[in-house]
Chain A
Amino acid sequence: MSTDTTTSTDTTTAPRHELVYFALRNRKLVIGLSIVGFLAIVAIVAPLFARSNPNAFVGPPMQPPSSSYLLGTTYFGQDVYSQLVNGLRQSFLVGVMGGGIAFVVATAVGFTAGYRGGAVDEVLNMLTNVLLVIPTLALLIIIGGYLKGTSIVFEAVFVGATAWPWAARAIRAQTLSLASRDFVGLARLSGVRSWRIVVGEVAPNMSSYLFLTFILLFGNAILISASYDFLGFGPPNGVSLGNMMNLAFAWNALQLHVWWWFVPPGIAIMAIVGGLYVTNVGLDEVFNPKLRSVS
């Protein structure tokens, strides 16, 4: 995504308390984390108190928000509020799993390509390029047709397996610049094994960068899975934010003016992803003193 600022990792590992001090004072970080944190708590706690089956037909169809149905009912008479909080949970799950898988793959590819170089680098570059160019959406649709139906795990795996290329590129670039540093050369001379060097010397020096990358991948995963759900390729029996939008669209919420069915899930996604991006920038400022002075 375009919000990836290619910051270099020139920070010397600042003392812990200094980081925390700036973290607490950074407005963006605080706001972003609050939004995401609040929604995460809602996702964990609220479904326990809402109706047990969000897909149950509980009331008259297409009711606007009222005291008995906080966010109204769907075309079928299901409780939108219950669907929203359960959908939040599922979207968070897919986001974390998908983002996590993408993160693991991206770091593996990025580190290897950046550290090893040579033929390995070229091959991995090729792989990255091919994946960047293939329309993954169409790929998913085809593979989805192969299986009788998809599940949350499948969706997370697919999202993870296709969202990593840009992160791998960025990690590779960082690894390249770090790998030429003296302390790495020293470790090599001492005969330390490659992966030990990567894990022990290189990675800790880009830890902030890695953290930021994970946050972006998490946000991306949520957005991508919402697209897949919207197109009807998500798990059919579950409730997710994207699927709510899909059903609302298919069942004429637009023309019937049942706005309470598709507006809340969209706002929820916007809030999570937006919160994550804001947190990302805030954290960037905390880690990089150079950025702190401006806003």
Chain B
Amino acid sequence: MHKHVKRAVAAVLAASLAAPAFAIGGAGASSHATTTSFPRNETVYTSGTAYSPPTNWNPLSIGAYATGTIGLLYEPLFLYDPTANKTVPWLATSGSWTSPTSFDIKLRDNVTWSDGQPFTAADVAYTIGLAKTSPTVPYANLGQYIADVQQVGKYEVVVDFSKPAYTQWQNFLYGNNATPMLPAHVWSKISASAVASFANPHPVGTGPMLLDEANAQEVAYKTSTHWWATKDLGLKLKFNYLVDIVNGSNNVELGQVLQGNIDLSNNFLPGISKLVGGISSSYGLQTYYAKAPYMLSANTVWLEPNIAKAPMSNVNFRKALAYAVDPRQIASVVYSNIVQPANPTGLLPNLASYVDKGVVAKSGFSYNPAKARALLKASGYKGRTITLEVPNGWTDWMAAAQVIVGDLKAVGINARATFPVYNTRVADLTNGTYDLALDNNAGPSATPWAYYDRIYQLPIQGKQTAQLNWERVNDPVSWALVQKLGTTPPTSTAALQSIYAQLEQRTLETMPVIPLWYNGAWAQYNTTYWTNWPSAAPSSNHYTPVMWGGWLGQDTTILALAALKTAK
């Protein structure tokens, strides 16, 4: 009896140890799963983008598609370079307004899809046309402005508008919301209602890589030999594989970066400023800037009051909030200086040329507790406790919220930080049941239009699902100015600058949102296997170093990847 029991136990143990190999072998949506291992010096490992397993390669499923879908597989017509603040022709060679309601796009003629079919005007026409035929695509609101899309020969498209829509169209063409081009011969078979949500497990794209392998832990891409940019722009990826890891917690990723298992980490890694030392240091870690703020700025963090609720509805109370908080303390204590305090207008550094210095000098705010107290008194605040909501698990924001609450208490505002789970927090903001929140949806864009569009969007719905105007400010004058931006031609720079100045002034006077600091485009590179990463040094390239959705394929990260060299 004893011997049999021992044998049985041993068998159970052995089986349980080997079980993972059997169970997960063969998982995933790979189309050509011949790779069993990735040679280290031919592979670039990235992390910091994916928080759930890769199961979706549909570029229209914003927020759900796997890392690399846009950028490595699918490509837009233009790229946007935030550092230089200019566009890079990509699948299109040029685009221009031939009249206030007509836009002409000329395409490249030697691009092929990964299934061998040529990329033509039909694909562009199909992609733009979805705005009118499918209500579920993210750019469906463009449909009301587009009258017609014509194909002129194989490589030219003319888009006719029913009314001028400069900014909305620009939003579609380039910038972080730029839409990639889809293969008409494959996608026209999908029904209009499923187009934005089906998983697309066998993606056909024009990009430099092909989907190789996917499992619960990572997604792997293999370099394609048919990329158009090699011939046209002299760009070639020097690695054969790119593997993006699904994140655990950020501290786990730091360990992996230090051990050289990850080349590019886009995670927030607390304490990174202590470990960065350039190529010569023992860890071989590098960031974009060699000293503070170490990271490029990615988006503006707002302290967002719920203007539909008292006491946030009072403008003096909101101004008191602005003067009460010290963003420099947040930057140094919570972030160890890898972020920088925001300009009072809140516009990101790439838009510095749009900031009207006179307006800022006249109406700008800064940390001043005495002034905050005075404003608080003027607002008639009675002492009601207000809550600041921050998603549970966002550790840096949780710590920042504690600092902010401390600052608010110091001037006499009864504030309390709460940490609901992410979905609850989004629901509270969407439904308007919150008091204060931190919001960093204001990401980079080519002009300030998107920033003010986000602040002043009207009408205010019961549920603000588009996450625009989450603070529920009802300002028809400012909204009219924003809409005017959409009908003013991009060439009328003087007129545009005057509108921006007015918006900046009004925003500082009415304080619908309070810009605090710029969250960083977190990027840490381990230079053991790959070098020539983007940096501020004059001899390096200044491309964007993040793989996040909205950046990889729309900004210049793909150029950064093409510039990588092996370290040997």
Contacts and interface: CB of A to CB of B under 8 A. Distances in A.
A76 B333 contact: yes
Interface stretch (B207-215, B317-325, B391-399, B559-567): B391-399
A250 B271 CA distance: 11
A251 B251 contact: yes
A75 interface: yes
A252 B250 CA distance: 8
Nearest to B257: A255
A76 B334 CA distance: 6
B48 to A, nearest CB: 14
A236 interface: yes
Contact of A148 (B269, B336, B418): B418
B285 to A, nearest CB: 11
Contacts of A62: 271, 274
A55 B251 CA distance: 22
Given A55-B402, A145-B424, A251 B393 contact: no
B254 interface: yes
Nearest to A250: B395
Given A145-B421, A236-B419, A250-B249, A255 B271 contact: yes
B250 A250 contact: yes
Contacts, number: 59
B304 to A, nearest CB: 18
A264 interface: no
A57 B333 contact: yes
Question: Contact size class for A?
Answer: 20 to 34
A148 to B, nearest CB: 5
B521 interface: no
Contacts of B420: 145, 148-149
A145 B392 CA distance: 10
Contact of B271 (A145, A149, A256): A256
Interface string B277-318: 000000000000000000000000000000000000000000
Nearest to B401: A236
B333 A250 contact: no
A129 B334 CA distance: 46
B229 interface: no
B251 A249 contact: yes
A75 B270 contact: yes
A75 B271 contact: yes
Given A75-B270, A232-B392, A250-B395, A256 B275 contact: yes
B271 A252 contact: yes
B417 interface: yes
Given A62-B274, A149-B419, A232-B393, 14 more contacts: A55-B402, A145-B424, A149-B418, A149-B420, A236-B398, A249-B249, A249-B251, A250-B270, A251-B271, A252-B251, A255-B251, A255-B271, A255-B275, A256-B271
30 contacts: A55-B402, A57-B333, A61-B336, A62-B271, A62-B274, A75-B270, A75-B271, A76-B399, A77-B333, A145-B420, A148-B387, A148-B418, A149-B418, A149-B419, A149-B420, A232-B392, A236-B398, A236-B417, A237-B402, A237-B417, A247-B395, A249-B251, A250-B249, A251-B270, A251-B395, A252-B271, A254-B255, A255-B251, A255-B255, A255-B271
